[in-house]
Amino acid sequence: MTFVTFGRDNASKKHTYDELAEIIKRQTEVYKWSFFLITDFSINMEKMNIPEDNTIILKKNKPDCFTRAYEELDKKISSLRTKVLEENAQG
């Protein structure tokens, strides 16, 4: 699951950070989901139970910032898939 957010103006009005963190924690622990975040501002990802390694901070002053962000996301997801396949192959 990947969240893409720009600025605090689109923050949830329905859920708090604590509620989102609990949902993310449950989905990660029970269903083995992985969460990624692409954003242009620094928030406390760990507070939301999203590992820092799964967060991509956009540098909007670069003309190809979105291309770079999605290329980095692709690498992170590919690496995760490889890891899961290797774990499953081992038993």
| pLDDT values of the chain reduced to their tens digit, one per residue, 91 residues | 998 887 666 667 788 888 989 999 999 999 999 999 988 876 667 778 888 899 898 887 888 888 999 999 999 999 999 999 999 999 7
pLDDT value at residue 40: 81
Q: Which long-range contacts (CB under 8 A, 24 or more apart) does 53-58 make?
A: 58/6
Residue 69, number of CB atoms within 10 A of its CB: 19
In a 13 Å sphere around the CA of 17, the CA atoms on its Cβ side amount to 9
pLDDT value at residue 15: 84
Looking at residue 37, its amino acid is: L
pLDDT value at residue 10: 63
